[in-house]
Amino acid sequence: MPSASSKLYADDVSLLVVTLDTNPFFWSTFPFPFAEFLSQVLAFLNSILLLGQLNQVIVIATGCNSCGYIYDSTSDKNHGSTTGTMPALYSNLLHNLDEFLARDRQLDADAAHAPGTVPSSLLSGSLSMALCYIQRAFRSGPMPPQPRILCLQGVADGPEQYVAIMNAIFSAQHSTVPIDSCYIGSNNSAFLQQASYITGGIYYKPPQLDGLYQYLSTVFATDLHSRAFLRLPKSVGVDFRASCFCHKQTIDMGYVCSVCLSIFCEHHDKCSTCGLVRVLFP
């Protein structure tokens, strides 16, 4: 497989992998209903496919306990036709989404969550699945479509996923795969800000969720070749804070192991990750 810098892409063909936050604990308390959010996302995905007949769209559902592929336009030969009163894209995706939510809800029955808290979604898992699919596309032929990842996230960052998410971010950077982020939660996401900044993607927090489709179609529908000629929104600032390995909390200052670079909020005589003694520096 050629190096990331020497890959040749088909400029007019896009491979868009979308990670869709389906956390039921978040959507049950968020003022914007999930049904309205999903309807605008489906319209956006349909427009991507209509922009070019060779464009590809992959949708990965991000739940509390699992992740799963719920739509693949390459295996849906009838995405331009209609089934009953709705396009096949809508009916197939909604059917797979219902099955995924049922499975994820069943897994959640055995999980313990603190009352009144919203558990984090498995963003690290969906990013890993997206990168695995893209790597498979790289091997499909000499001119793969231009890949990019779009994260539609609402739940706040889960510090316990910091290492896995950073590994996925650096893997995407090595493969020259930009990670776009559309964050709809109350506060900004430090993980997604870093992901978009490091990989050269776009981070955007829509100010009006009622017009979500407009933001998606004007900011995130543009292919990588066209972005060089457009003035797209840029992030005002990036939160580079890390999460400690001991308590999984976001910290401003900490102690770093000189060997494995593990981060801790308190001084330890022994690194719990690699076992080295007395090598933690502030």
Per-residue pLDDT of the chain (282 residues; tens, 9 = 90+): 333 444 455 667 889 999 999 999 999 999 999 999 999 999 999 999 988 888 899 999 999 999 999 999 988 655 555 444 456 678 889 999 999 999 988 887 655 555 657 788 999 999 999 999 999 988 877 777 889 999 999 998 888 888 889 899 999 999 999 999 999 988 888 899 999 999 999 999 998 899 999 999 999 998 888 888 888 877 767 766 776 767 666 777 777 777 666 777 777 777 776 777 754 455
Same domain, 98 and 139: yes
Please state the domain count of the chain.
2
Same domain? For 275 and 177 the reply is no
pLDDT for position 85: 47
Task: Give residue 160's pLDDT.
Answer: 81
Residue 7 domain flag:
no
Are residue 183 and residue 97 in the same domain, yes or no?
yes
- Whether 170 maps to a domain, the answer reads yes
- pTM across the whole model: 0.82
Note whether 211 and 186 are within 8 A (CB).
Answer: no
184 in any annotated domain: yes
The per-residue pLDDT for 237 is: 72
Same domain, yes or no: 126 and 147: yes
Are both 28 and 156 inside the same structural domain?
A: yes
Q: Are residue 114 and residue 213 in the same domain, yes or no?
A: yes
Domain holding 262, by residue range, is 241-281
188 lies in some domain: yes
